[in-house]
Amino acid sequence: MRSSYFYLFFIVFGLGLFNSCHRGGSSNSSKAETGTVVDVNATYFTTANPNTVIKKVPCTLSDGSETDCYEIITKSIPVDHQMGPWCPDNISDDASAGGIWLEEGKVYDVDGDFIKNLATFYNDETWQMYDANGDVYITKTEEDCINAANPNVGEAYENFCVECLPSFIHNVSQTFLIPVSPVLQTDASYFSRGPGPGGPGGPDGGKGPRGPEGQRPPKGEGGRNRPDGPGRPEDRGGQMNAVPSTRGLALNGIEFSAPAPVDNILSAYTLAPFDNAGGHINVHQGYHYHAATGVSFSIEQSDGHAALIGYAMDGLGIYSHLDAEGNEAEDLDDCRGHYDEVRGYHYHVDAAGNNNFINCLQGAYVK
């Protein structure tokens, strides 16, 4: 009888231990906790940018469910921080005269020295983005901005620092639909690979990726696809074609865009810096972010958790990379999300140098 008791005890104990480990999950899991979600707080958007127009409308999500969404209309112009600068005027300028550049996980100041040393930085003597006086070649007009960012940019714009100015934004208006109440899904929806939201009319265009050692592929040769990197996971279950490229919306109404196609920009021997807030301008898209640097409007958390900086396209909160003590969350899943009792399931943005925000959506989104 006693042996039977101990046998039963070890079975129950073993199952309990297994279930406990299973609930903990792997840090690479793409399945969210089936717990609390927190509704989108619409007042944060209008507090951060009074020019934002927001209203509740009916919508249908990617899982077929019918619900309410916030329709958010923005002008793609922040009011909580200035835009720019991007390109320094001369190779003697310090960091205050230029923006930043994101390369292999690091953030670099685009100051005069950075422009001066591009040939060394990319191990390619073709880089020479300044004249005999040290003055940097910069796109000065809207036409130059558009031409330098065209996928078929000619050699006339090689070695130009592409700077599209706020004055080039004419009547740009963007509409975003985000579920009021997030609807968690069993499996995550991964973003597609490939270039971000580029094309003619802004610094996100380009010809094609660089070749080995940072060099441009010889003319007539096709380039390779952008290599896998942050925000570019493999196709998981053929879901990616329907997933929006926009990662989310900052509280100030500025788009969290797909990773900038850095290889495409560099392949044309151009540079399209981001400002210190991680944004730059496309004349069709307006001002948009490719990295979160801690400049934009945020909602601090009373418990020291990382600040809320925006919402993903599935309505789940996006929080900054580090908490109030400078620590990064250690239990993030593939999407860069995790769960706590205060905020429910939510995301944390990637480090700014990775040219990325989040990797996938754990909730249903508007198609």
pLDDT tens for 170-182 read 999 999 999 999 9
Q: Is residue 250 part of a domain?
A: yes
Rg (CA), the chain: 23
**Alpha carbon distance 281, 139 (integer Å):** 13
What is the predicted pLDDT for the residue at 261? 87
What is the predicted pLDDT for the residue at 150? 73
Cα-flanking dihedrals φ and ψ of residue 186, to 5°? -65, -40
Q: Mean pLDDT across the chain, nearest whole number?
A: 82
What is the predicted pLDDT for the residue at 35? 61
What is the predicted pLDDT for the residue at 86? 98
Cα-based distances in Å from 44 to 51, 52, 138, 311: 12, 10, 37, 10
pLDDT-derived band of residue 204, with 50, 70 and 90 as boundaries?
Answer: low
Cα-flanking dihedrals φ and ψ of residue 323, to 5°? -85, -175
What is the predicted pLDDT for the residue at 13? 38
Same domain assignment for residues 191 and 321 = yes
Same domain assignment for residues 51 and 177 = yes
**Alpha carbon distance 64, 99 (integer Å):** 43
The 3-state secondary structure of 74-113 reads: ECCCCCCCCCCCCCCCECCCCHHHCCEEEECCEEEECCHH
| β-bridge pairing 308-312 and 317-319 | antiparallel
| Total number of domains in the chain | 2
Same domain assignment for residues 134 and 51 = no
Same domain assignment for residues 62 and 189 = yes
pLDDT digits (tens, 9 = 90+) for 62-72: 999 999 999 99
pLDDT digits (tens, 9 = 90+) for 205-232: 443 333 333 333 333 333 322 333 333 3
Range of the domain at 275: 42-81+169-196+231-259+270-363
**Alpha carbon distance 327, 337 (integer Å):** 15
Task: Look up the pTM and report it.
Answer: 0.81
